[in-house]
Amino acid sequence: MGRFARSGTGVITMNEKIGSVALRPRAVRFDFSRSPLHWIPGEPVASHAISGLNLILPLGERGFVEMFRRALPYVTDADLREQMIGFMGQEAIHAESHNQAVWEFLQRHDIDPEPILTEAEYLFDRAIARLDTLPENLRHRVVTQMLALIAGVEHFTALGGDWILNQDFESLHADPALTDLFRWHGAEEVEHRSVAYDVARYFGAKRPRLVTFYLGTSVGLPVGLIAIAWWLVRQDPTMRNMGPVRVFREIGSGIRRGVLPRWGLIGRGFASFVRADYDPADTGDTAQAVAYLAKSPAAKLAHAS
């Protein structure tokens, strides 16, 4: 496999795309002992909608690491290998940190996520076991398809990361620990936003396939997050009588007030992704992301301990 390239511009190295930033996992430590369940005051549904990320992200990131681990032996480009290894390290810590939030934060508020997580883990393990039974050439094709899917998901998470970095949670009096968790994660999503796309192109993923997968991501992820928000509402002892229609309306109200990302963000993300000159680096600001990562309270707490 050759170096990755974009039509009309020639070969692009990783350094040309993301500057001199070397991706690396960062030590962080979060303390959710004082975090209220409705961590955005007066916004219980919006709080659950964003908290749902703690349930959906760890397994997805475990999958990303697994696919990159399987792809890495086929990559001969030294710069791309280095970025992949940094990406894998960051995603592994993301999964661990959100797992901490699930068990330390949700269980402290009498929400038991074990049934839903056990089922998800079971399905994931079965999928990986099935993958291992395939002939090598077919297994390689499946991994390549998954890399194209991950490229779409990473564009989506970069959009979300940029929104979270610029969302004024302080004016909402949001809990500092959970605000930091999502901003720290969002900053690293912006920082490594080019990697998955470059890996997919390196493995030969064409634009139609990438766009098709991204279209599915644009629909599937919001629907999944809304469903998880409803599940959390049903587990919340103060909100169990709220049905799915009202939850959806409350989410829409939160979007209109700017507490949650607007639907237009998804539309703009899709419009940028389908452009012939799409470049992941156009989403977000690396300097802003790195600046936040340097001052994240969780990073300071980890270094102090």
Separation between Cα atoms, residue 36 and residue 34, nearest integer Å:
6
Mean pLDDT of 263-283: 93
Given pLDDT bands bounded at 50, 70 and 90, which one contains residue 302?
confident
- What is this structure's pTM? 0.89
Q: Are 149 and 213 in contact (CB under 8 A)?
A: yes
Q: How much is the pLDDT for 11?
A: 31
Q: How much is the pLDDT for 243?
A: 87
Asked whether the predicted pLDDT for residue 200 surpasses 90, the reply is yes
pLDDT, tens only, 226-240: 999 999 999 998 887
Mean pLDDT of 200-223: 93
For the chain, helix (H) and strand (E) counts, in that order, are 13, 2
Q: Are 293 and 188 in contact (CB under 8 A)?
A: yes
pLDDT, tens only, 38-70: 999 999 999 999 999 999 999 899 999 999 999
Any residues with CB less than 8 A from the CB of 210 and at least 6 apart, and which?
148, 151, 152, 197, 200, 273
210 C-beta neighbours (distance < 10 Å), count: 22
Torsion of CA 101, 28, 158, 264, to 10 degrees: 50
pLDDT, tens only, 241-259: 788 899 999 999 999 999 9
Mean pLDDT of 260-280: 93
Separation between Cα atoms, residue 147 and residue 68, nearest integer Å:
8
Query: Across all residues in the chain, what is the average pLDDT?
Result: 90
- Which tokens hold the place of 278? 């799409």
Domain residue ranges in the chain: 38-304
Asked whether the predicted pLDDT for residue 16 surpasses 50, the reply is no
Q: How much is the pLDDT for 1?
A: 37
Given pLDDT bands bounded at 50, 70 and 90, which one contains residue 7?
very low
95 C-beta neighbours (distance < 10 Å), count: 19
Asked whether the predicted pLDDT for residue 141 surpasses 90, the reply is yes
